[in-house]
A and B are shown apart, each in its own frame.
Chain A
Amino acid sequence: MSGVLLSTTDLSLSFGGVHAVRDVTFEVEEGEVYSIIGPNGAGKTSIFNLISRLYDVDRGNIEFEGESIIRTPPHNIARLGIARTFQNTELFEHETVLKNMLIGRHVHRKTSLLSELLFLPGVPKQELRFREIVEDVIDLLDLQSYRDQVIGSLPYGVRKMVEVARALCIQPKLLLLDEPSSGLNPEETEDVAFWIEDINQDFGATVIMVEHDMNLVSRASSRVMALADGAVLAVGSPEEIQNHPEVLRAYLGD
């Protein structure tokens, strides 16, 4: 297919005495759906936080499209083409779904402060261009009826979708999904599987997903990495991982 989009080498992070991430090395190929699983505290979200630069690495390297990103300021990560969602949705609570998604277009803006102050013609043109992309994402995820609703009034399942929709508005090359099915009922989880497929195939984004729901993982992913206590246990196809003795031991005990 194509090459490696994201790779980490000996990634390590500790909080005081707790080793959250230990010498984690893995590669994600362009176009695949890569899942990271593991018991709680295994370091999965920490890896996401390292990639999106909310934390600094203690040791090791992360490369995106061949360039190291361990010193990139957090707000430049989106510009590079990496978007993420949060485990406990971090949406802009007082704004509408539309506004939230328009903020996702921030990295693609070309207007200067002065032109915005004066609302020169370039500004409304840009707004309309942004709006077209946002509407594409709304179509993809069927959010039409929620466009003008304030986030605070939305049910949990919809909020999770808005979280993903907002990330997609960045038009990312890589999408990091943090527990997309947590808090959802089985029907909603089915939908998640469908739209992960849509995002991967139609939208063309590589997806890395942290998940607990093994059904979803088996259905949606091409490869799975199992973590425990911050270290890599195994990498393989969903079937291989589900039957891997080390993985079973980590989840079920001896």
Chain B
Amino acid sequence: MEVFQLLVSGISQGCVYGLIALGFVLIYKATEMVNFAQGDMMMLGAYVAFTYINLMELPFFWGLIATVLTMAFIGVLIERALLRPMIGEPPFAVLMITIGLGFILRAFAGAVWGSDTKAISNPFVGGVVRLGEVSIGFENLAIISGTAILCLVLYLFFRFTRLGIAMQAASQNQLAAYYVGIPVKRIYSLVWAMSAAIAAVAGVLVAPVSLVEPVMGFIGIKAFAAAIVGGFGSLPGAIVGGLIVGIVEQFAGLYLPTGFSDTSAYVILILMLFIRPEGIFATMQQKKV
């Protein structure tokens, strides 16, 4: 049925949004910084994967692992170079610096790999799973299951490790965290490494269904919508928000005239900001004076 097909596409696209949103929210939860360049980090991850898998001809899964590790390292570099000097600066300055970072990453990608579109060789091409009349492409399946696995890993990490709690402490009061012995700067580096790694996974998973080009990071803006719908401080919210945006987008394309499906993500965003800016899983509170 067409509806089910749309649903699957919506969920799969929603997972991509959700993964990028997850990267945002991770950084925001831990450092109170908003990373506007998260979509572009995904783009960089896709290109790095392209380098390993297509240019250096590594097998797909080894290439994926190499990409994740490389991107984690790049995440730390970016954090050290750009964000470390920004600790303690007003949030607006941090936002602007990540916007600048996005431009730099795009120019860099265009310079190194060229601006023509690329594709990553992957084992998902062509394969389909049939459930009755419906077929789900392998690449969509990969996206959905990849997201699910990643979420499980993150959940376990935050729930059961001291590092997860330390991250939350560092986000709520940097100075106090320092005093209690939490290595705040190292945690920030770790958070950026994780975010970059998640972005890399998103990039590799989405490459089969879209084009790899320097501007592919622009879906990051829709991922913002996902993060806001879910609630900016909530990790499960990021995924839920992504799914909602992804599914609504697909159905908007079906029921509304052309051109509207593109804007549906932004309309959802604005509606959400009107009705419930804290998002579905709210984490904002009132300041006590």
Contacts and interface: CB of A to CB of B under 8 A. Distances in A.
Direct A/B contact, Cβ within 8 angstroms? yes
Interface of A: 45, 49, 54, 86-88, 90
Contacts of B289: 45, 49, 54, 86-88, 90
Contacts of B288: 45
Nearest to B287: A54
A88 B288 CA distance: 10
Chain A to chain B: the 7 pairs with minimum beta-carbon distance, closest first: A86-B289, A90-B289, A87-B289, A49-B289, A54-B289, A88-B289, A45-B289
Contacts of A88: 289
Nearest to B285: A15
8 contacts: A45-B288, A45-B289, A49-B289, A54-B289, A86-B289, A87-B289, A88-B289, A90-B289
B173 to A, nearest CB: 15
A54 B287 CA distance: 10
Given A49-B289, A90-B289, 6 more contacts: A45-B288, A45-B289, A54-B289, A86-B289, A87-B289, A88-B289
A11 to B, nearest CB: 18
Contacts of A49: 289
A90 B289 CA distance: 9
A72 to B, nearest CB: 18
Interface in B264-289: 288-289
A221 B288 CA distance: 27
A254 B289 CA distance: 31
B147 to A, nearest CB: 34
B114 to A, nearest CB: 46
A54 B288 CA distance: 10
Interface in B186-224: none
A50 B288 CA distance: 12
A47 B289 CA distance: 12
A49 B287 CA distance: 12
B289 to A, nearest CB: 5
Contacts of A87: 289
Contacts of A90: 289
A34 B289 CA distance: 21
A45 B287 CA distance: 13
A87 B288 CA distance: 10
A210 B288 CA distance: 16
Nearest to B289: A86
A75 B289 CA distance: 16
A86 B288 CA distance: 11
Contacts of A86: 289
Nearest to A86: B289
A204 to B, nearest CB: 27
Contacts of A54: 289
A86 B287 CA distance: 13
Contacts of A45: 288-289
Interface in B232-289: 288-289
A90 B288 CA distance: 12
A105 B289 CA distance: 23
A49 B289 CA distance: 8
A241 B289 CA distance: 27
Nearest to A84: B289
A30 B288 CA distance: 29
A113 to B, nearest CB: 26
Nearest to A52: B289
A83 to B, nearest CB: 15
A102 to B, nearest CB: 22
A87 B287 CA distance: 13
A54 to B, nearest CB: 7
A87 B289 CA distance: 7
A245 B288 CA distance: 31
B29 to A, nearest CB: 22
Nearest to B286: A55
